[in-house]
Structure 1
Amino acid sequence: MRKELQVAALENGTAIDHIPTDAVFKVVSLLQLQKLDNRITIGNNLNSNKIGKKGLIKVSDKFFREDEINRIALIAPNVNLNIIRNFDVVEKKKVVLPDEIIEIVKCNNPKCITNNEPMKTRFHVIDKEKVELQCHYCELKVRKEEIELI
């Protein structure tokens, strides 16, 4: 059996692995990768022993901040984040939803104070598996498929 790399190796940067195939381009958009000048490799429908088919995004010379990573967890929970330096994985992180999401998600309630006053949105994560949030101010519950990012 012939082994081959499906995606080129990364010298320095971040590899976002095990992205559900339907979320790959949402992650690209969320992280605004189209605005970067860095070399970016996007793979989709790659074979995965864990989840059948997966997506993968490699971003050269980019290390994401915590708030950027939190965005990924909203649409693709349980992805792996690999920090690569000099072709070696120096850190592996499992992306997990924090207990609170601030200024990332818009409240779907038009009467919510966050839609009528200049203030940051704030949501409590009430179900990390299904990705369900609750607005701190109006208590509206928002399911994963209803999430609208700011």
Structure 2
Amino acid sequence: MEDKPRGLLISPIKDGTVIDHIRAGAALTVLRVLGITGQTDEELSIATNVTSMTGGQEGRKDIVKVSNRELSKEEVDRIALISPHATINIIRDYIVVEKKGVEIPTHLSGIVRCTNAGCITNANEPIHSSFEVTEAGLHCLYCDTVITTDIESHII
């Protein structure tokens, strides 16, 4: 049996961000929450459902490379909701200058839409949603609704 060559067929980027260890199948959701939909001037590389070796276990992951863009804290927080084991790699002049894991924050403001149609954050008021992250889910600080499932579909 012939050994398969290891490695991905994605070219390196000079400057930008590589989002690695995205949950398999979630790369397109990551692009959506970053506001990268349809036509864009940003150079993208997307690898979906690729083999990953994490902790000695073989699994699957997605990878997104975005040239000439470094993510804001709010964008990283959105990614953490989709894929809490993702890593963010900042690339400058083809070198990884910073590598960090994402962390789900304890408080989210203006990132998730409340599922309660009667919540004041869903009215035509200039109020951003505000959630506390708990073990039970996302707790709306305005109406006490708790979002426990399908959180990524409510990311603004």
TM-score, structure 1 length as denominator? 0.89
Counterpart of 2:143?
138
How far apart are the structure 2 equivalents of 1:75 and 1:3?
27
How far apart are the structure 1 equivalents of 2:15 and 2:94?
6
Measure how far apart 1:27 and its partner are.
Answer: 0.5
Do residues 122 (structure 1) and 130 (structure 2) align? Answer: yes
Identity %: 37
How far apart are the structure 1 equivalents of 2:98 and 2:81?
22
Alignment equivalent of 1:24, drawn from 27, 42, 65: 27
Alignment equivalent of 1:43, drawn from 44, 47, 51: 47
Measure how far apart 1:144 and its partner are.
Answer: 4.0
Letter in 2 for 1:59: V
TM-score, structure 2 length as denominator? 0.86
Structure 1 gap ranges (5+): none
1:64-88 Cα offsets, whole Å, 9 max, x none, are: 1111111111111120000011111
Q: Check whether the contact 1:74–1:144 (CA below 8 A) recurs between aligned residues.
A: no
What is the RMSD computed on CA atoms of the aligned residues?
A: 1.7
Counterpart of 1:33?
36
